[in-house]
Amino acid sequence: MATELTTIPPPLANRRRRLSASSVVLWVVLGLLIIAPVVSFLLLATSPRLFQQGPQYFTLHYVAEAFGGSTGRGIVDSLWVSLTVSVVAVAVATTFAWLIHRTNVYGRRVWAVLMWLLLIVPTWMMTLGWSDLLQPYGAASFFGVNTHFIYGEFFGPLGIVLVLSTAALPFAYFVISAGMRGLGSEFEDAARIHGASRWRTWQTVLPIIAPAILSAFAISFAETMSDFGVAFTLGYHANFPMATFTLFNAISNFPANFPVAAVIAIVLVLSTIPPILLQSRVMRRRSYAVLSGRTRPARQREFRPLGRVGATAGISAVFLIALGVPIFGAVAGSFVTNLGIYSSGPVQLSTTFYQQVLHPSIADKSLAAPLVLSNQLGLVVASVTGLLAIVLARRLITNVGGWSQRITDVFLLGSVAVPGVVLGVGYIFFYNLSFITGHIVDLYKTLPLLMLALVANSLPGQTRFMAGPVGQIQPSLAEASRVHGASRWRTWRTTSLPLFSRVLLWGWLLTFTKTIAELAIAQILYPPSQEPASVTIQAYLANFQLGTGTAMTVLTLLEMLVVIVVALGLYRLLTPKGWRRIGWSGVKS
Amino acid sequence: MHMPIKKPGSHPARFAAVAIAVTAASLSLSVMGASASAKSAGPTLVVYSAQGYDSATVKAFNATHPGFNVTLNDNSTGPLLQQIQAEGNHPTWGVLWVDGAQAFAQLDREGLLAKHIVPKVSFDTVGRANIPADGSYVPTGLTATGALVYDSSQIKASQLPKTWADLLKPQFRGMVGMNDPSQSGPTYPLIAGVMSYLGHYRSGSTTAAVKAGEAYFTKLKANGLVINATNGPTLGAIAAHTIKMAIIQSSAGYGAEVSTSPTFRVAYLNPVTALPGVIGIDGKMPKVVQGEAQKFVDYVLSPRGQHVMQIGDPQGDSLFWPVLNGEKPANKAIPPLTSVPMQTTNPAVWGPLESRINTWFSANINNG
């Protein structure tokens, strides 16, 4: 009897062993993908000699250097901008999620699709669009609008916060939408039945989606901290240094100052810890699993006609600013040949730049082959990332354990804040070590290594993106399936996959599009003579051939949209109807 | 007790969808396979280049040299040098080809360059002046940094400044722009050239020359100097009439003149600084790769190679002066080199100062 009491039943013991083994495998994968390359880079902060970047094995000299002058100012600027942007993005995203999912506002499908468009437009392109509109002799001046004073204001902290807020908005929106989608109307009904006013009802219901709100805040903060597009364009022109720009500046001279860049990268990573601590503190208090087999569709609030029009106008205005302006700017830049040029004449519209895409001025530098390669990269990277992200997201939301989950959480968000250039250079340091190339695997300057780096770059954000929807699926669903005799595979296929399918699809599309637009890692790690599209476009933009580069950018964005439409079509054709009615949805409200 | 779930794939459309997805996935996997096999084929020559005509040159070289499979890492100078520095003692590059000799001087000091690689061709005077004593790198063409690019619809040639001191005069207040040396590769050699000229530097310590240069740029800033990151926005500022002229690389000015901005012209203050396109070979590579690299360098400086360089990027980097006797510039917009007052700076002297001077410039001219 005593033996029975103290002995762990065999199935549980096996389960623990399996869990342990799976943890080891997972951390080995993460180690090779992210930890080893990033740590290799970060170690340079105090030990530059480890990678032949200085004479010292240990020094704090570069720490002091990183916190002085404009470098130190960049860190402070990034912190307060990220904080402001996160608050703004979460507030707007929560309002939008409520309006789009819970009211009869016009065009709900359209807004959700536009939110996806906003997600795939790179921040540097947003800036380009604003600049094309507001610059002297820009698109606005062709319509007789004097933008002189706005132009000055835009190239400052105001413009930076504006563009970064619009960039963070979709991240926050999708996380909060997921939280709101899982929140059936029974909670609101219960509050109203007990006499709560509408405001009081929201005060009661909003804390239920606290994980989503905090998650949105954390991801917005980390994404903003790591953004380089705005720091390099608006921040630079406004003499407003931000951390990612000062990091880039530290390694743009020759010889590059990798140790100072490493110190800045450490600050970026550490800055994500407070939001995570806040989130995990809140989530430890209670369970937030609300999505189950009995979840009922939410009831819509019916606006009166005037309110409906007003709410729709508000959403339209935000999208006009966030998306309309940059797209208009980019399209104008690709068709107007005298944009930004002093001229008393009218707008000169031409397809010259698009013709130059087909017949590029630089020999053997067309967009076709690079774009095909980028799509292939996107296909592989998005698929691998999707699978890994689901595994990680499930670990992240598991309530048992504690330290492992917290470490995973800190690690993932910290990784979101790592700029691409740090990951890219870290991959060189680690995967080009003689020991690695000589005794383990020689992947440096190959497509597989570029794919690994792109997976590493996407995985943290993708996991955070999926954690919300995955966290709302009650474990009882899978347990019920298992109790009824289904195997693990069958349980996953028939119970979990239908609920995951839409978040997997949208997550896949997110990674696919981001992979095609990614520049920092591609520039550093692309295999010789196998240039991705982003590198080709950059070659034109940097070579005073802005029109051709912009036309290439527009075509690439169009191609991304086509892929999104095809993928959604395939999903519709391949999946049973039931899959499209349950679980998380990115578009359908 | 399981709910039956209809299996996908029974419908013809679903079958087609699966076929599309599988085909796309197979294509991508084949890319990975091809890449992996390429790596296992043994060491091959990789050219790290920031030249606009590099794609055309590599393609032409492979076409005319059966058995060779030279590959190209085409990037801006900054990312290329970052990669080389990060690769350290385990380099991948076989040939480096960028504008400016400063980086080569640094690599040579670190013992990373192969020596005596200069092909037996007939260099002109400027070409010979840009070859180091140990022959560790070779000029392949020449542009000038600090060329005065102006808009002839805004200012006449007769009204232009003629010397560096002229730029400080009140009549040019707020009219002049230049690039940021921390963002634009050719701008540090320009600043170093101005310092060398104004400080009458010949040899020894550079302290006095640096001080003279810092004082000059401080005055230039006080006279309304406009800094933009790179050629694109600086030329854009001229086009928008925000400024009337800019001191940048000559090929960028000629590129604008022959493509988007036909009223742009290029003039030269006395003196401008030579900015050679430079090529060097990785001394840490196996001998067989160094041999391939030497053949590539020989090809670049052959008549055929020079021709490809001149047609590879006709609106950009191809607008250079050849450094070989008998070769002429690709475009008539480029004047004879003899008409340009050009000085050469010593990259071994000014190269090591780049980081310090750029930091000073960022702190005092950009943000000051």
Per-residue pLDDT, A472: 66
Interval B344-368 mean pLDDT: 89
Q: From the list A137, A541, A543, which residue is nearest B316 (CB)?
A: A543
Which B residues 240-279 touch A at CB under 8 Å?
240-242, 252, 255-256, 259-261
- Count the neighbouring beta carbons within 10 Å of the beta carbon of residue B238: 27
Residue B78 pLDDT > 60: yes
Q: Is the pLDDT of residue A63 over 60?
A: yes
Query: Which pLDDT does position A9 carry in this prediction?
Result: 45
The pLDDT, as a whole number, for residue A214 is: 86
In this prediction, residues A449-456 reach a mean pLDDT of: 96
A379 to B83: CB separation less than 8 angstroms, yes or no: no
Is ipTM strictly over 0.95? Answer: no
Mark out the alpha helices in A336-367 (DSSP H runs). Answer: 352-358
Is A127 part of any domain? yes
- Residue A587 confidence (pLDDT) above 60: no
| DSSP helix, strand, coil percent of chain B (3-state; round to 5) | 45, 20, 35
Mean pLDDT, rounded, of chain B = 89
Domains and CATH numbers, chain B: 46-142+276-334 (3.40.190.10), 143-274+343-366 (3.40.190.10)
Asked if B121 and B301 touch (Cβ cutoff 8 Å), the reply is yes
Q: Residue B8's pLDDT band (boundaries 50, 70, 90)?
A: very low
Res. A358 pLDDT band, cuts 50 70 90: confident
| CA atoms in the 13 A half-sphere facing the CB of A50 | 17
What does the pLDDT read at residue A458? 93
* Residue B352, min C-alpha distance to chain A (Å): 9
Q: Average the pLDDT over each of A295-304, A543-552, B90-99, B142-151 and give the range with the smallest value.
A: A295-304
pLDDT of residue B31: 54
pLDDT of residue A548: 87
Domain with residue A220: its CATH number is 1.10.3720.10
Q: Which residues in B lie closer than 8 A to residue A429 (C-beta atoms)? A: 86
Q: Note the pLDDT of residue A147.
A: 80
Cβ atoms within 10 A of the Cβ of B6, count?
A: 10
Residue A95 lies in a domain: yes
B103 touches chain A (CB under 8 A): yes
Q: Which of B23, B55, B357 to mutate to test the interface with A (most CBs of A within 10 A)?
A: B55
* Residue A39 falls inside a structural domain: no
**B292 in Cβ contact with B48 (< 8 Å):** no
How many residues belong to chain A? 589
For A120, the 3-state DSSP assignment is helix
- pLDDT given for residue A3 in this prediction: 38
| Beta strand B46-49 pairing with B226-228 | unpaired
Higher pLDDT, A335 or B225: B225
**Interchain proximity A447–B182, CB inside 8 Å:** no
**Residues contacting residue B364 through CB under 8 Å, at least 6 positions apart:** B214, B217, B218, B221
Q: Specify if A201 maps to a domain.
A: yes
pLDDT at B22 over 70: no
| pLDDT at A490 exceeding the cut of 70 | yes
pLDDT at B45 over 50: yes
Report the distance separating Cα B325 and Cα B190, nearest Å: 26
Token code pair at residue B54: 């590099």
Inter-chain contact A545–B315, Cβ cutoff 8 Å?
yes
**B5:A545 CB<8 A:** no
Whether A12 is in a domain gets the answer no
Percent of residues, chain A, with pLDDT higher than 90: 31
- Which has the closest alpha carbon to A73: B222, B362, B182? B362
Span B316-332, mean pLDDT? 94
> Under DSSP, is residue B282 helix (H, G, I), strand (E, B) or coil?
strand
pLDDT > 60? residue B17: no
Percent of chain B with pLDDT over 90: 77
Q: Place B5 in a pLDDT band, splitting at 50, 70 and 90.
A: very low
Instruction: Quote the pLDDT of residue A6.
Output: 41
With vertex at residue A515, the alpha carbon angle to CA B312 and CA A502, rounded to the nearest 5 degrees, is 150
Query: Higher confidence at residue B26 or residue B215?
Result: B215
> With contacts defined as CB-CB under 8 Å, which chain B residues touch A570?
17, 20-21
- Classify residue A57: in a domain, yes or no: no
Contact B38, A444 (CB under 8 A): no
Nearest CA in chain B to A137: B240
Other beta carbons within 10 Å of B345: 23
Across the interface, whether the CB atoms of B86 and A530 are under 8 A apart is answered no
Q: Which pLDDT score is estimated for A345? A: 73
Report, as an integer, the average pLDDT of B100-107: 93
Instruction: Look over chain A and give the mean of its residue pLDDT values, rounded to a whole number.
Output: 83
* Nearest alpha-carbon partner for A373 in B111, B233, B32: B32
**Cβ-nearest to B8 among A337, A486, A575:** A575
Choose from B17-31, B40-54, B65-79 the range with maximum mean pLDDT.
B65-79
A589–chain B nearest CA distance, Å: 24
AA letter at A188: E
Q: Higher pLDDT residue, A479 or B356?
A: B356
Report how far apart, in Å, the C-alpha atoms of B148 and of each of A471, B258, B270, B330 are: 62, 16, 10, 20
Task: Tell me, yes or no, whether A22 lies in a domain.
Answer: no
Residue B269 contacts residue B148 (beta carbons within 8 Å) = yes
Burial class (CB in 10 A: 0-12, 13-18, 19+), B76: buried
Residue A32 belongs to a domain: no
B245-249 and B71-74 as β-strands: parallel, antiparallel, unpaired? unpaired
Give the count of domains, chain A.
Answer: 1
Residue B197 above 90 pLDDT?
yes
Query: Per-residue pLDDT for A7 more than 60?
Result: no
Query: Cα-Cα-Cα-Cα dihedral of A362, B319, B303, B348, to 10°?
Result: -110
Q: Which residues pair with B268 in a beta bridge?
A: B147
B42: phi > 0 → left, psi -120 to 50 → alpha, else beta; which? left
Mean pLDDT of the region A515-535: 92
- Beta-carbon pairs below 8 A across chains A and B: 211
Among A90-99, A538-547, B62-71, the least confident range? A538-547
Q: Tens digit of pLDDT for each residue in A131-161?
A: 888 888 887 887 778 887 788 788 888 999 9
| C-alpha span between A539 and A544 (Å, rounded) | 9
Q: What is the pLDDT of residues A197-254, one digit of tens each?
A: 777 877 777 777 787 888 889 889 988 998 888 888 888 888 888 999 899 888 888 8
CA of A289 vs chain B CAs: smallest distance (Å): 24
**Mean pLDDT value across residues B243-254:** 96
Residue A287 binned pLDDT confidence (cut-offs 50, 70, 90): low
Instruction: Please list, residue by residue across A45-79, b when 16 or more beta carbons sit within 10 angstroms of its beta carbon and e when fewer do.
Output: bbbbeebebbeeeebeebbebbbeebbbbbbebbb
The answer to whether B83 faces chain A, any CB pair under 8 Å, is yes
pLDDT of residue A278: 77
Cβ–Cβ contact B347 with A under 8 A: no
Asked if B183's CB is within 8 angstroms of A252's CB, the reply is: yes
pLDDT at A297 over 70: no
The predicted pLDDT at position A209 comes to 79
Q: Are B241 and B65 in contact (CB under 8 A)?
A: no
**A526: nearest CA in chain B?**
B73
Q: Identify the domain containing residue A413 by its residue range.
A: 62-359+371-580
**Which of A551-555, B175-179, B250-254 has the least mean pLDDT?**
A551-555
- The closest alpha carbon to A225, from A208, A240, A242, A239, belongs to A242
Most confident of A15-24, A64-73, A310-319, A513-522: A310-319
| DSSP E strand boundaries for chain B | 46-49, 71-74, 95-99, 137-151, 176-179, 226-228, 245-249, 264-281, 342-343
In the predicted structure, residue B90 carries a pLDDT above the cut 60: yes
pLDDT class for B1, splitting at 50, 70, 90? very low
Q: Which long-range contacts (CB under 8 A, 24 or more apart) does A277-280 make?
A: A278/A214, A279/A211, A279/A214, A279/A215, A279/A217, A279/A218, A279/A409, A280/A406, A280/A409
> d(Cα B195, Cα B349) in Å, to the nearest integer?
12
Long-range contacts of B165-168 (CB under 8 A, 24+ apart): B166/B269, B167/B220, B167/B223, B167/B247, B167/B269, B168/B216, B168/B219, B168/B220, B168/B223
What average pLDDT does the segment B167-171 reach?
97
The length of chain B is: 368
Q: Are B90 and A442 a contacting pair at CB < 8 A? A: no
SS3 at position B281: strand
- What is the rounded end-to-end Cα distance, in angstroms, of chain B? 76
- The CA distance from A385 to B31, in Å, is 18
d(CA B306, CA A469): 60
Q: How confident is the model at residue A583 (pLDDT cuts 50, 70, 90)?
A: low
Q: Does B314 touch chain A (CB under 8 A)?
A: yes
pLDDT of residue A332: 83
Q: Is B116 on the interface with A (CB under 8 A)?
A: no
- pLDDT over threshold 50, residue B6: no
Rounded Cα–Cα distance for residues A394 and A413 (Å): 15
Report residue B288 as tokens. Answer: 């067989």
Tokens 């003039």 sit at which residue? B267
pLDDT band, residue B25 (cuts 50/70/90): low
**Concatenated DSSP letters of A322-343:** IIIHHHHHHHHHHHBTTTTS--
C-alpha distance from residue A303 to each of A93, A109, A111, A173 (Å)? 19, 17, 17, 21
pLDDT score at A175 = 80
